[in-house]
Chain A
Amino acid sequence: MRKIVAFVKKHTILIILLAISILFPQSFSYQSKLNMRVLVTAIAVDKVQEDYEVTLQVVMPQAKAEQGSGKAVLSFITEQGKSISESIQKIAYKIGNTAALSHVSTVIVGNSLLDGNLTKELDYFIRNTEFNSAVMLLIAPESAKDMLKKTQNLEINEAIRLQKVFVYKESSLNGLMMPIVEFMNNSLTISGSSMASGILISNEGEEVLGQSTDKTLESQQSQQQGGGNQNGQESKESSNQQGGESSKEQNGRIKYYNDIYYFKNGKYVNKYDKEDEILGIFLSNRAPNTGELVVQNVKGDFLKDATIGCKFRQQETKNNIKFIDGKPILVIDMAFKDVKINEILNQGQPTPALYEFQAESSQSNIVQAIQERVESCVRLAYEKAKKDGVDILNIGDLAYRQKPYEWKEYYSKTGESYLSGTDIEVNVKVNNFN
C-alpha cells in the first residue's frame, strides 16, 4: 500500500494528464453539443387512424451571414409513429439531430385525440423528465399540426413563448394556462373534472373581435382550414426565408376569448365557447389580477340603453361549502377591488351625461348590474357543465376538504351522481368603485 501511495505521489501530474487524455476524447462522444440538437419549443399531436402524428416547432439558428432582421426562424417537422415517443425519435433520424425538448413550453392536441382518454394519451409528457412540469396544454379545434404551423404568422417571441402569452391572458380573464401536470392531476381528483384552453390563430382581417358565436366560429374555422393547408405546404419554404421577408407574413393573431374544453376523468365532454360562460368559469375558479367587464341593461332611465366598460383589479374568490339538508352548496364569495368605469357608450343621451352619472343612484345601479352580470355568468357556466355531468367547480373536492364527514355521508348516499344534488350561491361584492 505504501508503495502504491508513494508511486501515486511521485507521479501525480502524470496520472492527472493520463486521466485527462483518456476522458478528453470520451467527452466528445457524450457531449450534447448544442449544434447537434434541434431546439423544440412546441409540439402538436394528432391522431391519424391508429398512429400518432407529431409535429415539432423547431427554432432554426441563423448563421451570421444569413441573419436578417429576425433572430431566428421557425421550422416545422412532422412524423408519424405508433407512439409519441416513436414519432419524435423518427424525427431525430430524419434530420440527423436529437430533439432538445427541455424548452418545450406548449403541447397542442388536435380534435382527433379528444375521442379517447386524454390523460392516457399525454402520459409521455409526464414521464419524460426532459419536459418541464409546467408545459402547457392547448386544444386545437381541428388539426393541431395546422394550428401549430399558423404560429409562424405570429411575432417570433409570441410563437416560441405561447405559454407566456397564455399566462398574461389568464391574468386578464381571456385565456387559460393549464399545465399538463395539473390537467392530469385534476382528472384524478374526486370531481375528476379538468379544463384546457383552446387555441385559435387567425390572420388579420379574418378574426372577429370580442364575442364569437358558433356560426362565426365555424365560418372562421372553415376559412382557416383552407388557409391552414396552404400554410402547411408553404411552411418548409417559408422557413428558409430571411427574417425581413417573414415579417410581412407575421399578421397572425390569437383569438381573444379562447374556448375552454372541459373533461371528466380525462374524457372530453364539451366546451365553453360563449364569452359569458368563459367569463363565469374564470371568475369562479381563478384569481386574476385584472379583468374587463361589459355591463348592459343597467336599471334607471339614464343608463338603461348604455353599454358600460369596467375594469377591475385584485378580484378575490373564496369558495366555501355549506351543507343544507345534507346537500353540499358551494358558496362563491367574490370581491372586486378597484372597479373603474372606463367607458360609457350611451346612445341618444345629451352630452353632460357625466353629471347624471355622478348621481349616487346611477352608481349603485351600475354596481348592481355588475353583480348580476357576474352571477349570471357563473351560473351559466355551472349549469352547462352540470347538465353534462361535470363537476366543473370541484364541489366534490371542496366538500371533502372542508367538511369531510358530511361529505362522506352524502357521497355514500349518492355515489357518482352526487352532482345533481349540489347547488351554488354566488355573492358578489364591489369595493372601491370609481
Chain B
Amino acid sequence: MKKQLTKRQVLFLVIITTLANKTQRLPSLISAQLGRHGWLVFVILGLIDVGFVSLALLANKINKSKTCYELCKQTCGIFIAKVVVFVLGAYFFIKSLLPFEAIHDAFSTVLFDNLPWPLYGLFIIVAIILVCIYGLNAIGRVGEPFVYLFLTSFIVLFGLGVSTTDLSRVLPFIDFDVPKIIDACWDFCLWFGGFVIIFMFMGRVKEDDGKMGWPIIIAVLAVNLIMAFGYMVFYGLYENLAADKVNFISMISQFSLLNVDLGRIDWFFILFYQFGQFICIGLYLCLATKCFSEVFGIKNRVLMSFIVVMAVYLLDVFLFKTVGEGVSEVSTIVKYVHPITVIGLPIFFIIIACVARKKEKNAIFSNNLVKFKLLTGISSKNIKNFIKDKKVYKSCDQICEGEKQ
C-alpha cells in the first residue's frame, strides 16, 4: 500500500473538516433552538469529539501498516469488513452534503444575486470528480497551502465580528435548560465528528518526522472552543435575529467599520474560506469512493467517482428543493447513525487493532520459537518452562533477531 499522506497533511485535513462544517448554517440552526446557550452544544459535542479522536488516533498508532478494510478483513472476515467500510462510506457520503450545501448557499445566495445552481453546480461536480480521481495524495497536497488561506480568512472575518459584537447578550450562563441542550446535541451531531476521516488514513500515512497525536487532539479541541466563542460572537451580533441569519461566516463581518469605509472586501475572505469547504467535499467524496470501491469491488476509480459525486449533485438539485430543507432532512436521519460512527467505530477499531497486533506478535513469536528450537536443540516440553522465564523469553527474540541480522 503506497503511503499517500504525511502527518502534517492529516493534521491540516482534520482541522479543515472540523472547522469548515460548523461555520455556515449550524450557528443559526442552534440559535433557533437554544438561543443564548447554543455555545454549550459546541463545548459538549466538541469534548466528545476530543475524547473519541484520541481513541481513533490510538487505533491509528497501534495499526500503521494496514488500511481499515484490510484490518477488518484480517480480524473479522470479509463480510464484517464490508459492512464497516460501507457504514463509513455512507457516513462520508452524507457528511459531504453539508459542505456541498454550504457552497451552494454561499454562491447562489450570498455572493450572487441569482445563480442558476442546476447548471452552475456542474462546474463544481466536474472539479470534485477530478479531485476524487487524483486521490488522497492530491487532496493532502492541496490542503497544505490552502489551510493557511482558509485559517487566515477565518481569523480576519472572526476578528471583524469580535470587534463589533456585544458579548453581554450571551449572559446569563447559568440559566439553561438541560433537556433542551441534550436534544440540541442530539439534533446537531451531524456537524461534528469530523475526525472519522482518520480511520480511512490508517495505513496511508507516511512515517516521517512529524507528529500526529497531540497536535490533532489540541486542534480539534481548539477548533470547537473557538467555534463556541464564535457562536457567542454571532449571538452577540444578532441575538434574537440570529436564527434568520443563516450564513455565519458571511454575516459575522457585516457590522465592521471597514465595511462602511471600504465596502464588502470581506467577500474576498469569504471566497477564500470556501476553498476549505471545497477541500472538505473533495475529501469526503474521495473517501466515500474508496469505501464503496472496496465494498462493491469496483476498481475503476473514474466510474466510482462519477457515480458518487453525481449522486450528491442529484440529491442536492432534485431531491432537496432548498438548502435548508436538505440540511434538516439529512440531519434528521443521520442523528441516529452518527453515534455509531463517532462512538462505536473508535472503540471497534482499537479492539481489532489490538487483536491484529497480538496475532502478528504471536505469529512472529511462533516463527522465532521454531528457529530457537532449531538453534538450541531444546525439546518442545522444556521450551515451555523456558518461556515462563521472562529473561529466556527475551533472549529467544534476541537470538532470533540476531540470527536474522
Q: Tell me the minimal C-beta distance from B16 to chain A in angstroms.
A: 26
Q: Tell me the minimal C-beta distance from B241 to chain A in angstroms.
A: 5
Q: How many residues of chain A have a CB within 8 Å of chain B?
A: 30
Residue of B nearest to A166 (CB): B260
Q: Tell me the minimal C-beta distance from B353 to chain A in angstroms.
A: 37
Contact B257 A167 (CB under 8 A): yes
Q: Tell me the minimal C-beta distance from B25 to chain A in angstroms.
A: 14
Residues of A179-212 at the interface with B, using a CB-CB cut-off of 8 Å, are: 179, 181, 184-185, 188-189
Contact B251 A164 (CB under 8 A): no
Does A55 sit within 8 A of B, measured CB to CB?
no
Q: Tell me the minimal C-beta distance from B400 to chain A in angstroms.
A: 50
Does B268 sit within 8 A of A, measured CB to CB?
no
Of the candidates A30, A105, A133, which one forms a contact with B251 in the assembled complex, judged by CB atoms under 8 Å apart?
A133
Given A132-B264, A134-B254, A189-B239, A404 and B113 touching (CB < 8 A)?
A: no
Of the candidates B114, B119, B238, B300, which one forms a contact with A185 in the assembled complex, judged by CB atoms under 8 Å apart?
B238
Residue of B nearest to A184 (CB): B241
Does A314 sit within 8 A of B, measured CB to CB?
no
Does B261 sit within 8 A of A, measured CB to CB?
yes
Of the candidates B109, B257, B259, B302, which one forms a contact with A132 in the assembled complex, judged by CB atoms under 8 Å apart?
B259
Does A129 sit within 8 A of B, measured CB to CB?
yes
Interface string of A123-162 (1 = CB under 8 A from B): 0001101101110000000000000000000000000010
Given A129-B109, A132-B254, A133-B255, A164 and B261 touching (CB < 8 A)?
A: yes
Interface string of B221-257 (1 = CB under 8 A from A): 0000000000000000011110011000001001101
Contact B172 A181 (CB under 8 A): no
Residues of B within 8 A of A126 (CB): 241, 244
Contact A5 B302 (CB under 8 A): yes
* A175, B238: Cα distance in complex, Å: 22
Does B175 sit within 8 A of A, measured CB to CB?
yes
A102, A184, A189, A401 — most chain B CB neighbours (10 Å): A401
* A418, B153: Cα distance in complex, Å: 45
Does A32 sit within 8 A of B, measured CB to CB?
yes
Residues of B within 8 A of A30 (CB): 114-116
Residues of B within 8 A of A184 (CB): 240-241
Of the candidates B174, B241, B260, which one forms a contact with A134 in the assembled complex, judged by CB atoms under 8 Å apart?
B260
Q: Tell me the minimal C-beta distance from A12 to chain B in angstroms.
A: 12
Residues of A91-135 at the interface with B, using a CB-CB cut-off of 8 Å, are: 102-103, 105, 126-127, 129-130, 132-134
Contact B254 A185 (CB under 8 A): no
Does B303 sit within 8 A of A, measured CB to CB?
yes
Residues of A within 8 A of B310 (CB): none
Does B168 sit within 8 A of A, measured CB to CB?
yes
State the A residues within 8 Å of B (CB). Answer: 1, 5, 26, 30, 32, 102-103, 105, 126-127, 129-130, 132-134, 161, 163-164, 167, 179, 181, 184-185, 188-189, 400-402, 404-405
7 A-B residue pairings within 8 Å (CB atoms)? A129-B109, A132-B264, A401-B168, A401-B169, A401-B172, A404-B172, A404-B174
